[in-house]
Amino acid sequence: MSVDAERPAPLMHAWRHPAPKGAAGRCIGARTDLPVDRRKAKRLAHRIRAIARREGLPRAVATSPLARCRDVGRWLRRFGFRHVVDAQLAELDFGRWDGRCWEAIDAAEIAAWSADLVGHAPGGGESVRVLLSRVRAVHARAPAALLVTHGGWLSAAVWLALGEAHAPTAATWPKAPGYGRRVILWRLQAPALHRPSDR
């Protein structure tokens, strides 16, 4: 998708971290610090560096403090980027669910979260309302930023970019982008001004 001349410059270029080790079938949030393969972290850092060079983006990146994001930032620092660790970029905190197999979590608890996606704090952790506030805070202070973050954080950012008038539900919550994928957010709380990218 080409950039429209009438659109403002993109505000955030955000990548989802590479696939972590040991995540399959588990609820992985802010309390579970899984590692990523060193080569995958380096490969994503190379892609980010190439895109920054090609698109004239700043040589500065902010990452979640979790290793699956932070390790990409460390590679970028070796490539001459300024790297900042930002706790606001962390994944949703799933409380006592975090790190557990989804099958081991009580179905009634999952149903309660699905019934109130925004206000309910899964596992006694963090609500989506709090996550949306964190995304807004990053957006407010980081125009034209390069970010490495998580699937849930990016889903929240995409929701805000869509500018929907009603609260998100389990059925309407955006699907997380794939591991290592980029999302360009043009403006939050505006309709359909984001684009996923495979670069």
Decide: 159 and 174 in contact? Cβ < 8 Å.
yes
pLDDT of residue 152: 97
Confidence of residue 5 (pLDDT cuts 50, 70, 90): very low
92-133 per-position pLDDT tens digit: 999 999 999 999 999 999 999 999 999 999 999 999 999 999
Q: Are 147 and 62 in contact (CB under 8 A)?
A: yes
> Which runs of E-coded beta strand occur in the chain?
12-16, 60-63, 82-85, 145-149, 182-185, 194-197
Specify if 165 maps to a domain: yes
Q: How do residues 33-69 score in pLDDT, each as one tens digit?
A: 999 999 999 999 999 999 999 999 999 999 999 999 9
1 inside domain: no
d(CA 52, CA 9): 14
Q: Indicate the residue type of 188.
A: L
Domains in the chain: how many in total?
Answer: 1
pLDDT of residue 23: 96
pLDDT tens track for 141-186: 765 589 999 999 999 999 998 887 788 999 999 999 999 999 998 7
* pLDDT at residue 32 tops 60: yes
CATH number at residue 20: 3.40.50.1240
4 within domain boundaries: no
Band (11; pLDDT cuts 50, 70, 90): confident
* Range(s) of the domain holding residue 27: 12-197
Angle at 131 between CA 128 and CA 135, to 5 degrees: 135
CB 56: neighbour CB atoms within 10 A? 7
Confidence of residue 17 (pLDDT cuts 50, 70, 90): very high
Is 7 a member of any domain?
no
pLDDT at 79: 98
What pLDDT is recorded for position 171? 92
Integer Cα distance of 133 and 155 in angstroms: 13
Domain annotation covers residue 2: no
The per-residue pLDDT for 185 is: 83
